[in-house]
């Protein structure tokens, strides 16, 4: 696998170009959808501290957040088993991330699940044995119900003590979903990142098993 420095250099070349190659040879613009370079660096640094072995990413788009995650693991000298859930990488993004991940030699370390996250995650939860992850990064569908189900279902798949990160905290839909999750799903915020006066990424620790709640339990959120 490429070193962390090589992965970083490929990532920064993409930012400078503002585009990636699609599978058909045309160009795929990366802005404004890709995770901002500074936020990617932050993600990478946190991953390097966490040293996760089994990782999950919901919403891959350009693949640059994926590169940052692998950079962090390379710094920590670990190679994760990484699962990406995204149904639109081919039709919506011209397979640009798939081309990038192939060129960077990461494809062999990645399981790609091309279903909507709600479908894929619910199926994982029902699987025997149930897959479990040390780290999950949520940056998929940004509607409230998607963010909420992504948080709920990943909190059932990330082992207690593991970490979930969610992007785009500045969006009211994400804020509401996060408020519900911290009040009701046994996750606690351990770090947040702001940039340009806006909250961006929250890191959450899966602290307890939410299935142990009393059946009447409900912490309101607004």
Ligand X SMILES: C[S@@+](CC[C@H](N)C(=O)[O-])C[C@H]1O[C@@H](n2cnc3c(N)ncnc32)[C@H](O)[C@@H]1O
Q: Which residues bind ligand X (CB under 6 A)?
A: 33-35, 58-62, 64-65, 85-88, 92, 116-117, 139-141, 146
Nearer residue to ligand X within complex by CB, 120 or 181: 120
Nearer residue to ligand X within complex by CB, 143 or 218: 143
Residue 218 CB, shortest distance to ligand X, in Å, is: 26
Residue 141 CB, shortest distance to ligand X, in Å, is: 3
Distance between CA atoms of residues 181 and 1, nearest Å = 36
Q: Residue 24 in contact with residue 94, Cβ under 8 Å?
A: yes
Residue 60 CB, shortest distance to ligand X, in Å, is: 5
Q: Does residue 30 come out as left (phi exceeding 0), alpha (psi in the -120 to 50 range) or beta?
A: alpha
Nearer residue to ligand X within complex by CB, 4 or 201: 201
Nearer residue to ligand X within complex by CB, 61 or 166: 61
Residue 23 CB, shortest distance to ligand X, in Å, is: 15
State the residue number with the nearest CB to ligand X.
Answer: 59
Residue 203 CB, shortest distance to ligand X, in Å, is: 15
Nearer residue to ligand X within complex by CB, 17 or 217: 17
């Amino acid at each position: 696998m490429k070193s962390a420095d090589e992965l970083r250099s490929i990532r920064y070349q993409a930012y400078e170009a503002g585009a990636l190659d699609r599978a058909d040879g045309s160009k795929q613009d990366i802005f404004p959808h890709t995770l901002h370079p500074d936020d990617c660096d932050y993600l990478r640094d946190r991953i390097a501290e966490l040293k996760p072995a089994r990782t999950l990413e919901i919403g891959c788009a350009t693949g640059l957040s994926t590169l940052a995650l692998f950079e962090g693991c390379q710094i920590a000298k670990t190679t994760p088993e990484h699962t990406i859930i995204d149904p639109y990488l081919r039709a919506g993004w011209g397979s640009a991330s798939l081309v990038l991940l192939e060129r960077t030699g990461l494809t062999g370390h990645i399981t790609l699940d091309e279903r909507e996250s709600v479908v894929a995650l619910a199926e994982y939860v029902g699987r025997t044995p149930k897959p479990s992850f040390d780290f999950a990064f949520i940056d998929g569908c940004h509607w409230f119900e998607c963010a909420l189900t992504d948080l709920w279902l990943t909190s059932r798949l990330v082992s207690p003590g593991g970490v979930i990160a969610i992007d785009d905290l500045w969006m009211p839909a994400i804020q509401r979903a996060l408020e519900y999750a911290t009040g009701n799903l046994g996750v606690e915020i351990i770090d947040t990142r702001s940039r340009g006066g806006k909250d961006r990424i929250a890191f959450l620790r899966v602290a307890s098993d939410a299935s142990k709640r009393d059946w009447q339990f409900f912490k309101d959120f607004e």
